Each structure stands twice: as C-alpha cells, then as structure tokens.
Amino acid sequence: MASNEYKIPTYPVVGFLVRHGILLSLVLGVVPLLAAAGLVASGWALWVLVPGAGASVVLATLLISYIEVLRVISDTLMPK
C-alpha cells in the first residue's frame, strides 16, 4: 500500500549523535589507551602507552570535530 503523502525525514542516527556525540567521542577516544594498557599488562614494553595516549587524543579530537560539523549541518539543513 503506497502512500502519496510526503513525510519529512527524521534522521534518527543524526539526532542521536547530536545529543550524545561528545560523550560517545570521549568514550571511544579512550579505547586506544586501554588497548595499549592491555598490551603493557600482557608483557609489552611500557613505552607502548605513549602512542596509545597519542592515538586516544587524535581519535577523540577527530570524533569531536565530526560531531561539531554534524551539529552545524543538523541546525542549518535539517527540518525541525
């Protein structure tokens, strides 16, 4: 049964990311550091934490910037 009425798209994933994106970015940003800590705990050298911390900072920064761009797009281009 096809409907001829136009429905405004809602984009639920965009809404979720706009609402929870910063927290999600920070949580995902910690993952490389936790992985490096796991490697150190399993016997790897302690210096492995340095690239793990660097990767965490880079990942969190990239994800937060993505969320900021997504917020601008959702505020300006998406229907309310």
Q: What does the pLDDT profile of the chain (80 residues) look like in tens digits?
A: 566 888 888 889 999 999 999 999 999 999 999 999 999 999 999 999 999 999 999 999 999 999 999 999 999 988 77
Domain ranges of the chain: 32-80
Single pTM value for the model: 0.85
3-state SS, one letter per residue, for 10-79? CCHHHHHHHHHHHHHHHHHHHHHHHHHHHHHHCCCCHHHHHHHHHHHHHHHHHHHHHHHHHHHHHHHHCC
